[in-house]
Amino acid sequence: MGRTLGGGLWSWDNAAVRLPPLRRLGASAIALCLLIAACSGGGSKERGATTTGNAVIVGSFAFSESGTVGELYAQALEAGGFPVQRAPGLGSREVVEPALEQGALDVVPEYLGTALQFLSGGTLAGDELADTDALHRRLQAAFEPKGITVLTPAPAQNRNGVAVTRPTAARLNLGRVSDLAPVARDLVFGGPPECPERPFCLVGLRSTYDLGFKEFRALDASGADTVAALAGDEVDVALLFTTSPSLSTENFVLLEDDRRLQPAENLVPAVRTDALRRHGERLREVLDGVSARLTTEDLVSLNRKVDVERRPVAEVAREWLAERGLGPR
């Protein structure tokens, strides 16, 4: 049973925030809608976001790169004349996908292979793993009944990676993920809290590589906690995204995925189909325009500026868009 939320004031963490008006949502999305309002209420004014009924609500997952790409989408849309509301850092797919499906969000930056596996629950294997076009077709088919359209994938990809320090790699003679098999039982693995249940994390490392680690330590999603734990020898092996700037700025080695566990993970905008109807083809054109110019090298550079140089996300996104002629004119 859905209910209509108006534009009234609600209390969230002792602060008054304004909800996006007039969306019909399921119960689980109502709670998230409050969270979205709390996330965007404090900073939307300085970024020029609005909470009008026609606003495009751009959400992102709870890791840095997703928030940065979400900001690229948001600023590009604003430059194209669209009112935008931001909802960054909302959580994992268990939170974000239902919110998109139920209409609490309009746009989310997704990753092809992981999104498809999450929706289908099936195993991806063989040549299809690396086939961006095949994964895109399957993801669109999986999202379509949920009222979501998958736009054109970017050239940019970010896969899960398995990393160790250079001293560990030298000591244990590690260059490929399969090299961990004889020693994994003596090593501590660090990764995001959902890693033990994810097919492209510990589940896949067990089934594809027969790796059983001594211990799993829940950290963050390839963020500062994971980098610090690996650098400080609190964990021996860690999940780091392949676009992590730490792979070039820290003393880390990314092990080769020699048994091809990880699928193609091109970034792609997932958009509510009714938002495309409301706003027309111009919405698709703006988002596809960002995707067409976004490369893997760009992701590494953006992540370095945000995560290493600690520059504001809005500033980094504005600079990237301006350099490509996608910002305000």
Q: Reply yes or no on whether the pLDDT at 13 is more than 70.
A: no
Q: Which domain CATH number covers 52?
A: 3.40.190.10
Dihedral, CA of residue 143, residue 49, residue 104 and residue 100, to nearest 10: 20
Q: What is the pLDDT, as a whole number, of residue 128? A: 72
Same domain, 102 and 216: no
Q: Which of 186, 217, 221 is nearest to 92 (CA)?
A: 221
Q: How many CB atoms lie within 10 A of CB 30?
A: 16
Q: What is the pLDDT, as a whole number, of residue 180? A: 98
Residue 328 lies in a domain: no
Q: How far is Cα of residue 62 from the mean position of the Cα atoms in its chain?
A: 7
User: For the chain, what is the domain count?
Assistant: 2
- Structural domain containing residue 242: 160-255
Please provide the distance, in angstroms rounded to a whole number, between the alpha carbons at the two ends of the chain. Answer: 44
Q: What is the pLDDT, as a whole number, of residue 122? A: 63
Percent of the chain surpassing pLDDT 70: 82
Same domain, 90 and 13: yes
Higher pLDDT, 24 or 224: 224
CB proximity list for 317: less than 8 A, separation 6 or greater: 68, 71, 72, 74, 75, 302
Question: Tens digits of per-residue pLDDT, 34-84?
Answer: 454 444 443 333 333 334 468 999 999 999 999 999 999 999 999 999 999
- The pTM assigned to this predicted structure is 0.83
Q: What is the pLDDT, as a whole number, of residue 39? A: 44
Higher pLDDT, 127 or 164: 164
Q: How far is Cα of residue 20 from the mean position of the Cα atoms in its chain?
A: 23
Q: Which of 58, 289, 61, 256 is nearest to 159 (CA)?
A: 256
Same domain, 143 and 15: yes
Same domain, 171 and 129: no
Q: What is the pLDDT, as a whole number, of residue 124? A: 67
Tokens, residue 243: 């676009």
Same domain, 138 and 170: no
Q: What is the pLDDT, as a whole number, of residue 14? A: 26
Question: Tens digits of per-residue pLDDT, 254-303?
Answer: 999 999 999 999 999 999 999 999 999 999 999 999 999 999 999 999 99
Q: Reply yes or no on whether the pLDDT at 172 is more than 70.
A: yes
Are 194 and 167 a contacting pair, CB within 8 Å? no
Same domain, 143 and 52: yes
Q: What is the pLDDT, as a whole number, of residue 324? A: 95
Domain stop point among 255, 282, 308: 255
Q: Reply yes or no on whether the pLDDT at 249 is more than 80.
A: no
The residues pairing with 270 across neighbouring beta strands, listed in sequence order, are: 108, 150
Same domain, 101 and 7: yes
The DSSP letter of residue 267 is E
Question: Tens digits of per-residue pLDDT, 181-225?
Answer: 999 999 999 999 999 999 999 999 999 999 999 999 999 999 999
Q: What is the pLDDT, as a whole number, of residue 49? A: 36
Residue 329 lies in a domain: no
What DSSP string runs through 24-81?
EE-HHHHHHHHHHHHHHHTTHHHHT----TT-EEEE--SSHHHHHHHHHHHHHHHHTT
Higher pLDDT, 18 or 101: 101
Tokens, residue 222: 């390839």
Question: Tens digits of per-residue pLDDT, 101-143?
Answer: 999 999 999 999 999 999 987 666 666 788 999 999 999 999 9
**In the predicted model, what is the mean pLDDT of residues 75-100?**
96
Q: Reply yes or no on whether the pLDDT at 243 is more than 90.
A: yes
Q: How many CB atoms lie within 10 A of CB 152?
A: 14
Average pLDDT of the chain, as a whole number: 85
Q: How many CB atoms lie within 10 A of CB 213?
A: 21
**In the predicted model, what is the mean pLDDT of residues 71-99?**
96
Same domain, 37 and 140: yes
